[in-house]
Structure 1
Amino acid sequence: MASSGLAVGMFHLPAVAGEGFIEGSSATLQARNYYFSRDYSDMVGANQQSRAEEWAQGFILNFKSGYTPGVVGFGVDAIGLLGIKLDSSPDRVNTGLLPVKDDGRAADEYSRLGATFKAKLSNTELKVGELQPNLPVLTFSDIRLLPPSYQGVAVSSSEIAGLTLQGGHLNSTSLRNEAGDEKMIAMLGHLPQRRADSDAFNYAGGDYAFNEKRTSASLWYGQLEDIYHQGFLGLKHSQPLGDWVLGANLGYFDAKEDGDQLLGKIDNQAFYSLLSAKRGGHTFYVGYQAIYGDSSFPRVFANISPLGNEVPTYEFAFADERSWQARYDYDFSAIGLPGLTTTLRYITGDNVDTGKGFEGKDRERDLDIGYAVQSGALKGLGVRVRNVTARSNYRSDIDENRLIFTYTWALF
């Protein structure tokens, strides 16, 4: 007992700032009503379905406990998910909102309950169970009815001012429109590689913020075991200049095949840059992205990535692709309408190695309008409209519309 107390004293381990397991707990319930429609023309590939259109209602319950007091604090988080079909048919499935059964029809409903056990020592936290990491090498992609998740172990540490370190091992995933656990597969460009899967995604990396937090540098490593491994180097900077705020977001990925090479050789390097200028409610962006190597950009299915020119419809990440982006955002709070925002974006890409003897080209125009009620009885209600036109000479053209209503209750 004496030696145990001496050891604690020598290392000066602080007690966790304990609001208590119950006292520090919180819970929210979000209702998400989602309409999704994609019309395809000039079909390219084996799937000749000309339209994907579904409407669904989702519920997302999030519980987060506080930590027990003491040198090491313990807690538990939980998430409950429920998706309900409102409209679908066999000729309009595969929107990513609902599971598709063996008979080709969407399931009437699907649900999931997951728990995460956590422990905290000083500014270092360990989590085991249901995880939703958001990393450059594994971006959290909550872009459908219900969010995806992973199962495994993760640790994060912020013991040094400005520096956040993370690492983890994931052994399965629950996809955005599935209730069960599955092994992980890769995507190359926009194509799922279903002929190979893995039960291990390992990652490690860190972000360091300095220059009064106006600048941050990132270094990351991710490995989808026996399929690919990938490194990432990133830099972000924000610089006030009179009435303007200038920004830069730069990143570089390098990926190779891994272990047993279940998908064969992978050779990909990707560079992106996204520059911004903000004044009042106006923000202007210009971006350039370049894909190098013999392979398209790899990532874990079905995630987007932090590539500057990647959007949820086209990725602009095929082998050898070069793409440019022009984007304009406006926040209407600048003219007295808080909660209303718009984004207009145009991206064009070329130089794609299609492997078919011709140069691939694509382009996309996006319009997003969002509004969140700021006060009154409907505070917590949000609506988002998305309209997309995407055209390509080597993959399917897409006309897309999304209408999303959300309402969030703070339960306690």
Structure 2
Amino acid sequence: MQKRSISRLALTIAAASAVPYVHAEAGGFIEDATATLQARNYYFSRDFSDIEGPNQQSKAEEWGQGFIFNFKSGYTQGTVGVGVDAIGMLGVKLDSSPDRAGAGLLPVADDGRGADDYSRLGAALKVRVLSTELRIGELQPNLPVLTFSDIRLLPPTYQGVSFVSNEITGLTLQGGHLRSTSLRNEAGDDRMRAMLGRTPQAGFSDAFNYAGGDYAFNAKRTSLSAWYAQLEDIYNQRFLGLKHSEPLGSWTLGANLGVYESQADGSKLAGEIDNRAFYSLLSARQGGHTFYVGYQAMFGDSAFPRVFANVTPLGNEVPTYEFAEKDERSWQARYDYDFAAVGVPGLVATMRYISSDNVDTDRGFEGTAHERDLDVSYTIQSGPLKNVGIRIRNVAARSNYRSDIDENRLILSYTLALF
């Protein structure tokens, strides 16, 4: 793991933000440039009981302060436009100890202690021709086969090349080759590995390759998706998805359906993988109310594979339990309320309950699990604290085959537009 001092990161960010002025005469490169700085204060606590597995630590609790600097240039003028994006990230420990480390907010040193600080600076060259863009360098893709998992103090990044093309109206085509990753609580570049369900695998891959497309039609109320991904020598995966939104009087009905098929790839560094996953999430929205029901099922001889340590778009996956173990079936009921409907804009609450059974535990009994989530977020709308965001998350998760979890998160965030 690579670590930089705070002062070095500050100097590097300053230097990176100054680079575009060398090309000021290029026109749109500077005129369309933007820069933001987000401050994120993150408290995370997980209490474990009925602990399963070799790690008998009963609590993971950390508190950190993060800073995320994002610079996005415009493009040079001409048929081929060139630009640069840069991201600088700094995480600072506010509280941690060896008996509570491992919450995913901070790197963990060899002595079991959370690092005092960690940082990263990355940049990507971007080239645009018509409505197609090529990026080389530091990337943050958000795909059905590699979801952008910004669920801790700092977001993860990947290093490689990607393209996005919108040459045909309604059709977005994407592809990429990623050679390494910087995890959410690390500063250096690492090779990628897989998770099967909740379990990280030992084998490391040299690359993640993907290609796919999304086609929106019916006034953008309907979209179809088809994707292929390969974590070289570990697994390959196919995805088909459908999303639809249908107005019905004062209601808006929605459907989000998806199917994954995954197999072991090449040298099979994580062993045999054979999984088919189906999810469905149906919604009904009226005013500030949105109701959801979901069903998700795993088939095959293994749990669902994904790149470590990401979440996925599976309908019933949440950041605590994944509900993606071998043969697992799960059901969800969820209710969201946007208080703007009663004159309190910026305040949103979510209540969710997920229950599962039929898990093949390989221990002679059927695994079951359930989870209850409560999320409340508020963005201050005016005054000196305008745009300050507050989010509270409380979770109770119980299972007969894995550790029970009681979880609390408190996140304060503010994004300052620099230019």
Same fold (TM over 0.5): yes
Matched, 1:380 2:380: no
- Asked if 1:151 is matched to 2:159, the reply is yes
Q: What is the alpha-carbon distance in structure 2 between the residues aligned to residue 382 and residue 397 of structure 1?
A: 29
SS of residue paired to 1:90: coil
1:344 is aligned to 351
Q: Which of 30, 40, 51 is 2:38 aligned to?
A: 30
Alpha-carbon distance in 1 for matches of 2:185, 2:354: 28
Give the 3-state SS of the residue equivalent to 2:269 in structure 1: coil
1:222 aligned residue: 229
Q: Which amino acid is the alignment partner of residue 134 of structure 1?
A: N
Give, in angstroms, the shift of residue 49 of structure 1.
Answer: 0.2
Say if 2:397 is the partner of 1:407. no
Deviation readout 1:115-164 (Å, 9 max, x if unpaired): 00000000000000000000000000000000000000000100000000
* Aligned residue runs from structure 1 range 71-150, under 5 A: 71-150=79-158
Following superposition, the deviation at residue 375 of structure 1 comes to 2.1
Deviation at 1:376, TM superposition (A): 2.3
1:280 aligned to which of 271, 274, 287: 287
TM superposition shift of 1:379: 1.4
Structure 2 matches for 1:1-400, cutoff 5 A? 20-193=28-201, 195-400=202-407
Cα distance in structure 2, aligned partners of 1:380 and 1:257: 46
1:19 positional shift:
6.1
For residue 190 of structure 1, report the CA deviation from its aligned partner: 0.8
- The equivalent residue for 2:7 is none
- Taking only aligned residues, the RMSD between alpha carbons, in angstroms, comes to 0.7
Question: Which amino acid is 1:125 matched to?
Answer: E
| Unaligned residue ranges in structure 1 (runs of 5+) | 1-17
**CA separation in 1, counterparts of 2:412 and 2:268?**
43
Instruction: Kindly state the Cα deviation for residue 89 of structure 1 after the two structures are TM-superposed.
Output: 0.3
Distance 1:243 1:294 in 2: 45
Which structure 2 segments of 5+ residues have no match?
A: 1-25
- How many Å separate the matches in 1 of 2:127 and 2:160? 15
| Partner Cα distance (1:38, 1:399) in 2 | 6
Distance 1:301 1:66 in 2: 33
- Identity rate, percent: 74
In 2, the alpha carbon distance for the partners of 1:314 and 1:347 equals 9
Give deviations 1:16-54, integer Å, cap 9, x for gaps: xx9610111000000000000000000000100000000
Number of aligned residue pairs: 394
Secondary structure at the aligned position of 1:212 is classed as coil
Deviations 1:233-285 (A, max 9, x none): 00000000000000000000000000111112110000000000000000000
| Correspondence for 1:9 | none
Please list the CA deviations of residues 171-215 of structure 1 after superposition, one character each: whole Å capped at 9, or x if unmatched: 00000000000000100001111x200120000000000000000
- Deviation at residue 60 of structure 1 after TM alignment: 0.2
